[in-house]
Amino acid sequence: MKIIYIMPSAYTCGGNRITIEHCNGLAERGHEVGIICLDKKYSFDWIKINPAINIIWQSEIRGEKKNYFKNTNIVVCTYYETFYDMIGFKDLYPNAKLYYFIQQLEDRFFPDEGGKKRVKRTYEMSKQYNVGIITEAKWLVKELERLYGFKPIYIPNCQILPEEIPKTEIKTNKVKVLVEGNAEAPGKGIQDAWEAIKDLDCYKILLTNSQEHLVPLKFDFDEMFCNVPWDRALSVIKASDILVKPSYFEGSPTPIMEAWELGTAVVTTNCTGWDEYGIKDINCKLVNIGDVEGIRNAVKELINNKQEREILIANGKRIANNEFNGWKKSIDLLENTFKK
């Protein structure tokens, strides 16, 4: 099959990484895979992409690569804005089946009613164009069915980490507490995490995919890693003792999955997606969304109780070994969906 994914940009983020995992997996099965990328501001140098995958920038779609789209079987959009590009270029692949990979209730990204309405309109238009819905989390399957009457195909997120991940050298004798997330996105709760840990006796680290507007934010981590390649991000997680993921909402948060595999204790909020593989007090400490004191108490307890950290880490690895055994099952599901 010839399969085209449409991505809004090559920006460093978990959602784009999962899309690349789908593309890599399909390419490894021998399918002809192309990625249309609509924004050339960023590059894909932060992640490994199968060399057989054809990267097509927006300016090339109706130009030099126009003929590439002949005999396309499947086209998948990956964000609400890319839905309109998928429909707009439909004359290039008139016989292709269309899919929408939804990784979040995307109206949550918008504080204004206008933005929320645009997203909801997109979901309704998906029915008009007979677009198949794919998603990554069980809670999203239920919500998309409840809110919009979709029958989504569930393709669970998984992991294939590089074989060798060295620990980033962090010179401190203190317990290393890592806060992860887009520092500029209110829904990631980074300011909550900082307020929670700023007075604790630990080494405070921020791992973020955003670096353009860090100065105005009110925190002062001991060390910050901004917009680093995925393998470097993994090495930072591996070097840390505790990962704090203070989100207000998630799809299926990959940094938590990575922490379980890499041997880092997890503190997270009870937002959507945490329970895809998380079990309270078994492989993570769970606090309420926005509960700064709760985050502080959970982190403080793990700083002071190495044995509890080790129990969470051992359980995290055990569950990861059971659940994250490669992408084979998920790519099987995806491939079978496209073959129907």
Picking from 165, 157, 193, the residue whose alpha carbon sits closest to that of residue 178 is 193
DSSP, collapsed to helix, strand or coil, labels residue 97 as strand
Q: What residues does each domain of the chain span?
A: 2-158+327-339, 176-323
**Pairing of the two strands 132-135 and 153-154:** parallel
pLDDT value at residue 217: 63
pLDDT value at residue 213: 52
Question: Tell me, what amino acid is at 185?
Answer: A
Backbone angles phi, psi at 306, to 5 degrees: -65, -35
Q: How many CB atoms lie within 10 A of CB 63?
A: 10
Which residue numbers in the chain have pLDDT < 50?
none
Question: Tell me, what amino acid is at 299?
Answer: V
**CA dist., res. 138 & res. 230, Å (int):** 25
User: Which H or E element spans position 225?
Assistant: strand 223-226
Contacts of 214 (CB under 8 A, 6+ apart): 183, 184, 208, 224, 226
Q: Tell me the CATH number for domain 2-158+327-339.
A: 3.40.50.2000
pLDDT value at residue 218: 72
pLDDT value at residue 216: 55
Instruction: Please check whether the domain covering 176-323 is classified as CATH 3.40.50.2000.
Output: yes
Tokens of 122: 């997109």
Tokens of 127: 């029915």
Tokens of 63: 């130009």
Q: How many CB atoms lie within 10 A of CB 336?
A: 10
pLDDT value at residue 37: 95
Q: Is 159 left (phi over 0), alpha (psi -120 to 50) or beta?
A: beta
Q: Using alpha carbons, list the distances in angstroms from residue 124 to 76, 118, 141, 292.
A: 17, 10, 16, 37
Q: How many CB atoms lie within 10 A of CB 80?
A: 24
Contacts of 131 (CB under 8 A, 6+ apart): 83, 98, 99, 100
**CA dist., res. 165 & res. 262, Å (int):** 9
pLDDT value at residue 211: 55
Q: Do domains 2-158+327-339 and 176-323 have the same CATH topology?
A: yes
Contact 237, 208 (CB under 8 A): no
**CA dist., res. 165 & res. 299, Å (int):** 25
pLDDT value at residue 101: 98
**CA dist., res. 25 & res. 335, Å (int):** 9
